[in-house]
Amino acid sequence: MHTFVARHAPKTVSLRSVEDRSSATEIEIKLRIPKSAIAQLLRHPALAQHKSGRARRHKLVSTYFDTPNLALARAGVGVRMRRDGRRWIQTVKGPADDESAAGLTTRAEFEWIVGTSTRAPSIDAARLATTPWRRLLLKAARHGLEPVFVTEFTRTEIPLALPGRTTAILAVDVGAIRAAGSRKRVDLCEMELELASGGVEQLFLLAMKFAKDLPVALEADGKAARGTRLVTSESPRPRPAENAALPRDATTGDALAAIMRACLRQIEGNADGLLQDDDPEWVHQMRIGTRRFRACLSLLSQLVPSEPLSRLIADVKWLANALGRARDLDVLTHETLPALRRGARDSDPASKRALRSFAAKAAAQRKRARREARDAVASPRFVQLMLAAGALAATREFGPRRKRDAAAPTDTPACEFAARILAHRQKKLLRRGEALSDASAEARHAARIAAKKLRYATEFFADLFARKRARAYRKSLTRLQHVLGVLNDAAVGPRLAGAIAGADSNAAALLQGWASAQATLARGDLARVWRDFTRAKTFWD
């Protein structure tokens, strides 16, 4: 007789409290940790402080099943059969939901004990039909589920009692993932903090204590995703920006938490690629995520205690600076210089030699900036930044109420909060944009920053208002920001050239001439896009 492990309600729950949640939701923070640091982890004072029972050590072998074309993996659904001692446990996991970010993953999970023998049972299709993905799973079962990869590791589990009546499990997994039917494998060494009851912010706070003393890194992908990559040999791709899906009746707190998590997913989703791959797009997308997150944090000044917010803003600015220099040099070497050299084909030999010499120097500077960006992302400060941001997004009201009987500002309707923010930022941009065509480079840069902050805010909150009106306004704002961006790039190139080769160098003069030509063309468009923007109807009134 099959025994159902109590994970039966496919309900997405708020991260702020899981005291009333169904055990169908798996909520865990996953961190990579070197084998050499495991002993230090198990002796860590924070673990000793919160340990609430004896450690359990056991070996787990799991086989993951899919169709030949990996239909389940493409849908983010996983099916596995796990052996734990004599028990066989069939599990179905759904895709990570929108409350996942900063090392935290939340997803629906169903488990059944389907045997207690030494021989593996077959996948029970009847159980698949009880999940929210029954159509997908039953179709896959009809076409044939086959083993795709196997995880085999030793797990050490330690029960934890955390503040706020929160309970959790620390699991340390050491082993490997190997492809079924081949010799391809990848080592596995990670720690998980899985929530059993209480508030998820306590998981983040404990993870921060570990990250302060141990060489850990965020692990955004589960074992299933890594196993699929092992089998397919597919490389991950840079993660673009995404907007949080906000219901019209969202509260300010829920909306801002969702926006924070969306920004953090983009930062986190590009971290490993930036460390391992030279594609400039990793830096570009991670920088966009960092900028969006800074714009989001600027919305919290009246909602979060100043000290932790200031500390987080300083850390994000540190990361943005490291990424910004790398991105500026990527643009210079991959976009500006090629365009300049194409336009200088008929130049004199001395100019061509100057450009070749400058290109070599710029490439060396770019390599150094990329190394510095990688050092920042690989540092403990980056891990602490992400965990602190995740904790903030998971903390109800973002801080203590001043009066016990007063309504929290985060409980107000998000549409009212958004309308005030958007109106304020619109007013600021209109003020910055006065006489924009004839403004100095510094004034245009200030207008560009104001336009970018307004654009991010429109992207953050557009779902709260009529989509058609929001779309038209955002389109006019995007065109304005693009032209201002072209003008900014034209100003950055000569400045970088002066820093690399000297302000009086031939290369700097050539770049200045090219930049002046680009700026002249862009200024011709600026008056038009500014006029169109000022005539665009706001969508939040």
Enclosing domain of residue 126: 3-234
In this structure, the answer to whether residues 31 and 166 fall within a common structural domain is: yes
CATH number at residue 204: 2.40.320.10
**What is the rounded CA–CA span in Å between residue 217 and residue 184?**
24
Looking at 338, 368, 400, the residue that finishes a domain is 400
- Residue 63 β-bridge partners: 81, 150
Residue 486 has a pLDDT of 81
Per the model's pLDDT, the better-predicted residue between 439 and 73 turns out to be 73
Q: Are 266 and 285 in contact (CB under 8 A)?
A: yes
Residue 7 confidence (pLDDT) = 35
pLDDT digits (tens, 9 = 90+) for 130-187: 999 999 999 999 988 999 999 999 999 999 999 989 999 999 999 999 999 889 999 9
Same domain, 208 and 119: yes
pLDDT tops 90 at residue 237: yes
With a cut of 60, say whether residue 63 has pLDDT above it: yes
Q: What is the structure's pLDDT at 473?
A: 92
338, pLDDT greater than 90: no
Q: What is the mean pLDDT of residues 217-241?
A: 93
Tell me: do 58 and 104 sit in the same domain: yes
Q: Give residue 344's pLDDT band: very low, low, confident or very high (50, 70, 90).
A: low
Residues 22, 158, single domain; the answer is yes
Overall average pLDDT of the 474-478 stretch: 92
Query: What's the pLDDT at 409?
Result: 79
The pLDDT value recorded for residue 499 is 83
Q: Taking residues 212-223, what's their average pLDDT?
A: 94
Is 239 within a domain? Answer: no
Give the max Cα distance, the chain.
86
**Amino acid identity, position 436:** L
- Mean pLDDT in residue range 495-517: 80
Tell me the pLDDT band of 17, cut-offs 50, 70 and 90: very low
* pTM for the full predicted model: 0.89
Cα–Cα distance for residue pair 389/76, rounded to 1 Å: 25
CATH number reported for the structural domain that contains residue 377 in this entry: 1.40.20.10
Return the structure tokens found at 318.
Answer: 């540190």
